[in-house]
Amino acid sequence: MNIKSLLLGSAAALVAVTGARAADAVVVAEPEPMDYVRICDTYGAGFYYIPGTETCLKVSGYFRYDIGVGDAWGLTSYDKKDWYDNGEYDENDTYYKRARFQLRVDARSETELGTLRAYAALNFQWDTKQGYDDVGPYVYADNAWAVEHAYLELGGLRIGKTDSLFSTFTNYAGGVIHDDMVPYGPFDTHQIAYTFTGGNGFTAAVALEEGDSAVYTLDSYVPHVVAGIGFTQGWGGVSAVVGYDSVWEEVAGKVRLDVNITDTISAFVMGGWKSDSDVRSYYGTWGGAWGVWGGFSAGVTDKAVINVQLSYDDYENFAAVGNVAYELVPGLKITPEIGYYDNFDYDNADAFGGYLRFQRNF
């Protein structure tokens, strides 16, 4: 019995000592703060490193709401009496409205061949449109989405879907919303392009493009071709671009001059010419042999910029557009715009319109 008691007592003492030592050895350390997202400032604000990689990613976009009224930007059909002899059909041709959300994704990394970039901009929108059928004109709402940009870049090489180099190389047109009332070139297209950027302000680019729609999309293996050169300095810049439409076998070109008058005021003038005045080719979209666009932007306060643009072409199409882009609070811009449009192609001479845009960028 004494031996049994001795063994039990020893075991109990050993368990007690071991438990005490184990309790004394457990120390829970305070968790250290960790940066789960590393900022990537190589390509500007908003980029961060994808965890575990050296790829920088930026997710951005905007929400936009547009309201258009009047003959220029509302819903107005042309030649109403072509549809009804009495001309009394109620078309509800008043407001044009559009709600759009654009999502942008931009991924970049550095390689031995230059910057590798993947970029996409997707539009999701609901807008009011006007259509026509065998009964007549009608107004309807359209719920749609579209790919505005989706391309890869490596160094100066770009492959994918984007706006035509014929429009982007000369920086589109003015700062107004409706800068293409007199058209200055195409937009959506598949493209293979290369851009060389020198250190002295010189830029050159060439692109092979597919075109769009049944009228301008390639119908052979010969692509549309665009080439441009430009020179930019502190005072402004000059650029020139030429495009060959392989479907219609026509050539068109543009030259643009930009001048920075002051730190807050800039002006531009751009002229276009095409080889056949009677053909609206993929690049020569204006009426007649030539077109001209000009305007200015003036920052009147830290939050408000005035933009004005005038345009005219060989067919006597004329447009005058002006707006005030006002940043109400950081990230939210409100832009009221008014315009006058005299269009040769349709029976809507002396068309006036108003437009109001709300846009929240992020």
pLDDT at 78: 43
| pLDDT given for residue 34 in this prediction | 56
Distance set, CA 165 to CA 23, 207, 283 (Å)? 72, 7, 10
Instruction: Find, among 275, 166, 279, 172, the residue nearest to 227 by Cα.
Output: 166
pLDDT of residue 6: 45
In order along its 362 residues, the chain shows pLDDT tens digits of: 454 454 445 545 544 544 444 445 566 666 655 556 899 999 999 999 999 899 999 999 999 999 999 888 877 544 443 444 444 444 556 788 999 999 999 999 999 999 999 999 999 999 887 665 555 555 666 788 999 999 999 999 999 999 999 999 999 999 999 999 999 999 999 999 999 999 899 999 999 999 999 999 999 999 999 999 999 999 999 999 999 999 999 999 999 999 999 999 999 999 999 999 999 999 999 999 999 999 999 999 999 999 999 999 999 999 999 999 999 999 999 999 999 999 866 555 688 999 999 999 99
pLDDT score for 20: 45
Residues in the chain, overall count: 362
Q: What is the pLDDT of residue 351?
A: 87
